[in-house]
Amino acid sequence: MRLELRERWGGQPLWARRVRAVYLIGFLEGFCSHVLDLVRGGIHAYASFPQVPLQVFFVSLVVLDPLAAVLVGLVRREGSWLAATVMVMDVSANWWGNRHWLQDDPAKLFWLAPITLFALFVVALSLPLRRAAAGAAGTL
């Protein structure tokens, strides 16, 4: 398994390895952030969001973020698809759940910039990364 994984990573173009590394860092950071939220606030860590589906989604990121990281790290085509899906949902949920700040204090929305930029990066590169993974799978 270790040798196969090394070959799969080695079979990726340099740009794809770098993109995968950024994906891994981003999703592991997200995972740690959500774990810390749950440690601090328990199951009700996201009670500030009045919509229960948003609360459930943010808790589910404790599973979805590392799953996306693992699939991307294993150079699986499904990894880029899952990563893009999770990020679109995550950014949408964050912007929707914090939309009241647009009127109350728009400057507070600045803290959503990093996750939004990461989501744009993930979505923009998901198809090229999927193609690179397909090429690596075809060479083994």
Residue 27 and residue 66 in contact, taking contact as beta carbons nearer than 8 Å: yes
State which residues of the chain have pLDDT below 70.
Answer: 1, 136-140
- Note the pLDDT of residue 140: 43
Structural domain boundaries enclosing 93: 2-139
Q: How many domains does the chain have?
A: 1
- Tokens 């999703």, located at residue: 27
- Tokens 């229960």, located at residue: 52
- Note the pLDDT of residue 40: 96
- Note the pLDDT of residue 139: 47
- Note the pLDDT of residue 1: 66
Residue-wise pLDDT tens digits, 98-138: 888 877 888 878 889 999 999 999 999 999 999 999 876 55
- CA atoms of 72 and 53, how far apart (whole Å): 26
